[in-house]
C-alpha cells in the first residue's frame, strides 16, 4: 500500500522514529504540505495521514485510490468526513493520547498565574532580588489554590483527569457535563454553566468545538465571573470570543487567563489577546510532550495495522 503523510514534522521533529510506519508500505513523509500541494502529493495514495492539513470534499473526489484517512489528532474537523464516508473511505483519529499532558498544562498555567513563576524568575534575572533589602522578594499577590473552586466545562477524559489533579491539590471541583449526577463521583459536583462561571475561582474549558458553542465564552458569560477569577483554555481556541475576553481582562473584570489555544493558529499579529492584561499564552503545546507524541505514534501504527487487517479501530463517526 502507498502511504503518504502530509505534515509529519509536528508529530516528529526528529526525536522519534518513522521505522514502524515505513514497514507498513511504500511510505512518503512530508514535513509540511501547503493547500495547493495536497492533490499532487496525495495522488495514488491508498492511505493518507494528516495532522492539520485540510482534506476537503474536492480533494477526496479527486483521489480515486484513497481507501483510508488517518487523522493524527483527536479532533478531525480538518477532514470532510461525510465526503469520505460517501466514498467508502475509512477515517480514524487518535483518541486520548494527550490526556495526561493536557491536564499537566492546565496546572502549569494555574500555578504560573497563582505563583507568578514566570514574572518572578524574570525579575530575579534583572537583579531585583539581589538588590532587595529582604531575604525574599515579591511584587505581586501570591494565591494558594487549596480550597479554591475549579469549574470544568466538559468532563471527558481530559476534563476528568484535570479534576483528579485538582482534587490532589485540595481544590473543590464542579463540572458542567452531560453526565448525570449519579455518574459522577461524590467529590465532583454538577452545576450549570452559568453557575460555574459565577461561583468558581478558576474555570477550565474541556469541551469540543462545535458550531453551536463557537464563541460561547463571550461578554455575557465573562461578566458573571468574579474579578479575582481565572480562565484556562487548553481545548479549542474557537470556544472563546477573543475580543470579549481581552476587554474583560483589560477592564479588570477577571484576574487572568491562561491559554494554550487561539482561534487562529499561528495567531494574527493584531489578535487582542496578545497584548491583553494578565493573559498568559503558550503556543498550542499542551499535547506535545515526548510521551504524548510517542503514544500518538503508537496508536497511529495500530490504527493502520487494524485497517490493513480488515478490522479498523478508532473510526470517526460523522
Q: How far apart are CA 11 and CA 98, in angstroms?
A: 12
Q: Which of 57, 55, 23 is nearest to 42 (CA)?
A: 55
- Reading the block at residue 271, the C-alpha cell is 489578535
Q: How far apart are CA 293 and CA 288, in angstroms?
A: 6
- Reading the block at residue 181, the C-alpha cell is 449526577
Q: How far apart, in Å, do the first and last CA atoms of the chain sit?
A: 26
Query: From residue 269, how far is each of 49, 218, 236, 240, 256 by CA, in Å?
Result: 30, 21, 19, 18, 21
For residue 259, the tally of other CB atoms under 10 A from its CB is 23
Catalytic pick from 59, 161, 284, 295? 284
236 noted as active-site residue: yes
Catalytic pick from 59, 120, 206, 236? 236
Give yes or no for a contact between 235 and 203, defined as CB atoms under 8 angstroms apart.
no
**Where in the sequence numbering do the catalytic residues fall?**
236, 265, 284
Amino acid at each position: 500500500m502507498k502511504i503518504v503523510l502530509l505534515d509529519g514534522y509536528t508529530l516528529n521533529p526528529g526525536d522519534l522514529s518513522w521505522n514502524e510506519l515505513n514497514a507498513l508500505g511504500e511510505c512518503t513523509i512530508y514535513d509540511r504540505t501547503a493547500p495547493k500541494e495536497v492533490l499532487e502529493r496525495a495522488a495514488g495514495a491508498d492511505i493518507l495521514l494528516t495532522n492539520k492539513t485540510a482534506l476537503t470534499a474536492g480533494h477526496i473526489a479527486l483521489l480515486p485510490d484513497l481507501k483510508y484517512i488517518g487523522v493524527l489528532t483527536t479532533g478531525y474537523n480538518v477532514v470532510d468526513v461525510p465526503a469520505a464516508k460517501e466514498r467508502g473511505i475509512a477515517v480514524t483519529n487518535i483518541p486520548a493520547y494527550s490526556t495526561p499532558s493536557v491536564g499537566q498544562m492546565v496546572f502549569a498555567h494555574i500555578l504560573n498565574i497563582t505563583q507568578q513563576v514566570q514574572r518572578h524568575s524574570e525579575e530575579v534575572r534583572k537583579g531585583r532580588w539581589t538588590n532587595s533589602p529582604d531575604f525574599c522578594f515579591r511584587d505581586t499577590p501570591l494565591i494558594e489554590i487549596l480550597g479554591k473552586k475549579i469549574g470544568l466545562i466538559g468532563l471527558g477524559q481530559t476534563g476528568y483527569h484535570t479534576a483528579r489533579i485538582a482534587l490532589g491539590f485540595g481544590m473543590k471541583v464542579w463540572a458542567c457535563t452531560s453526565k448525570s449526577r449519579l455518574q459522577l463521583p461524590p467529590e465532583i459536583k454538577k452545576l450549570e454553566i452559568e453557575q460555574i462561571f459565577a461561583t468558581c475561582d478558576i474555570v477550565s474549558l474541556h469541551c469540543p468545538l462545535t458550531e453551536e458553542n463557537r464563541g460561547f465564552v463571550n461578554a455575557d458569560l465573562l461578566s458573571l465571573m468574579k474579578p479575582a477569577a481565572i480562565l484556562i483554555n487548553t481545548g479549542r481556541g474557537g470556544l472563546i470570543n477573543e475580543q470579549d475576553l481581552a476587554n474583560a481582562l483589560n477592564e479588570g473584570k477577571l484576574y487572568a487567563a491562561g491559554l494554550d489555544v487561539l482561534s487562529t493558529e499561528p495567531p494574527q499579529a493584531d489578535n487582542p489577546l496578545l497584548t491583553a492584561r494578565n493573559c498568559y499564552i503558550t503556543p498550542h503545546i499542551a499535547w506535545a510532550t515526548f510521551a504524548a507524541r510517542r503514544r500518538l505514534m503508537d496508536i497511529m501504527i495500530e490504527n493502520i495495522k487494524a485497517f490493513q487487517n480488515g478490522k479498523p479501530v478508532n473510526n470517526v463517526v460523522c
